Amino acid sequence: MSWVDRLVEAVGVRPLGLRVDWAAIESRIGTALPADYKELCEAFGNGGFCDYFTVYASADGADSKLADVYEDNWRIAEEDSAGWDYYLPQGLFRPGGRGGIFQWGASVQGDEFAWLADSSTSPESWPVLARTMGSARSASTCR
């Protein structure tokens, strides 16, 4: 049983079984995504858990909150040099470039959740990072 199956069982909902156009989304962001993330999106769609934790997901088709946030993070960092500092020491992930932070979720308290993504490794091996509000220069590995 996968961890997504266990989560579905724990929250007592029926999986949505969404059809997400992963090829279009992965083409848009320039990288493959972890299989368990895709499974989570297909089961729960876009949104949050108990109005506390939001997964930047996809809900059918090629729409992707994950890709939107990825593009927004790059735009903000490029518009203001202080934006780059927010992602130190890892930096922002760029497909084909060096590894870096690839944000996939957040809490209502401002906590952020991301992969430490690296194009040279399988997405299945990307560690998960958690950063609490105000801890821009430190992150904990959660995987």
Is 13 or 103 the better-scoring residue by pLDDT? 103
Q: What is the DSSP letter of 18?
A: -
At residue 102 the predicted structure's pLDDT band, cuts being 50, 70 and 90, is very high
- Please classify residue 132 by burial: count the beta carbons closer than 10 Å to its beta carbon, then call 0-12 exposed, 13-18 middle and 19+ buried: middle
List the Cα angle 19/23/28 in 5-degree steps: 115
Distance CA 138, CA 87 (A): 9
Model-level pTM? 0.81
Tens digits of residue pLDDT in 22-32: 999 999 999 99
Is 116 or 6 the better-scoring residue by pLDDT? 116
